[in-house]
Amino acid sequence: MKYRTGIGYDVHQLKDGLPFYLGGVKVEHAKGALGHSDADVLIHAICDALLGAANLGDIGKHFPDTDPKYKGIDSKILLKETYGLVKQKGYVIENIDTVLCLQKPKVAPYLPAMREVLSNVLGIPQDDISIKATTTEHLGFEGREEGVSAMASVLIKSE
Ligand code: MG
């Protein structure tokens, strides 16, 4: 058995009046994330962590934001495809840990739904998916509510 780890990081701008998707769940907020896809920063960080663990490049290589095919795409589709690439290489997910950084809104009430959605998309137990959230104490772009960021760490194993 072989284990490999990967990390992922992503950032999106926040703009008034856009829908706000985090972890595959629509969050009610006056602002939403700007991006070529549905701009789900948490899923994008998880995708990059998975690709990194399997040494398969990054999300921009597999799903370029210059490709009209990915305009407005549901990031859950990208996540499913990404995990497919990892499985093709002979690996499965052991666990995922993540951190969401944003000042507003409070996302704690949404975390169980995000874990359920991600568990269904990936076909792994909810217990193997951790989502944490923090403000940045009003510091930096997240603290000024100009953007949202996410970090993810994954462990994959081959049998
Ligand atoms: Mg992104």
Neighbours of ion ligand 1 (CB under 5 A): 10, 44
User: What is the Rg, in whole angstroms, of the alpha carbon atoms belonging to the chain?
Assistant: 15
pTM score: 0.97
Residue 41 tokens read as 């920063």
pLDDT at 89: 97
Mean of all residue pLDDT scores within the chain:
97
Ligand 1 centroid – CA 11 distance (Å): 6
CATH of the domain at 40: 3.30.1330.50
Task: Supply the pLDDT for residue 24.
Answer: 98
What is the DSSP track for 37-87? Answer: S---HHHHHHHHHHHHHTT---HHHHS-TT-GGGTT--HHHHHHHHHHHHH
pLDDT at 65: 86
Please tell me the distance between residue 40's alpha carbon and the centre of ligand 1 in angstroms.
Answer: 6
How many folded domains does the chain comprise?
A: 1
Q: What is the pLDDT of residues 67-125, one digit of tens each?
A: 889 898 999 999 999 999 999 999 999 999 999 999 999 999 999 999 999 999 999 99
Count of Cβ atoms closer than 10 Å to residue 75 Cβ:
27
- Asked if the model's pLDDT at residue 159 lies above 80, the reply is no
138-143 average pLDDT score: 98
Q: Find the 146 Cα to ligand 1 centroid distance in Å.
A: 15
In degrees and rounded to multiples of 5, residue 78 shows phi and psi of -65, -40
For 71, the domain range is 3-158
Q: How far is the CA of 159 from the centre of ligand 1 (A)?
A: 31
Share of the chain above pLDDT 70, in %: 100
Average pLDDT over every residue of 146-155:
98
Ligand 1 centroid, distance to 10 Cα (angstroms): 5
Distance 34 CA to ligand 1 centre (A): 9
pLDDT over threshold 90, residue 136: yes
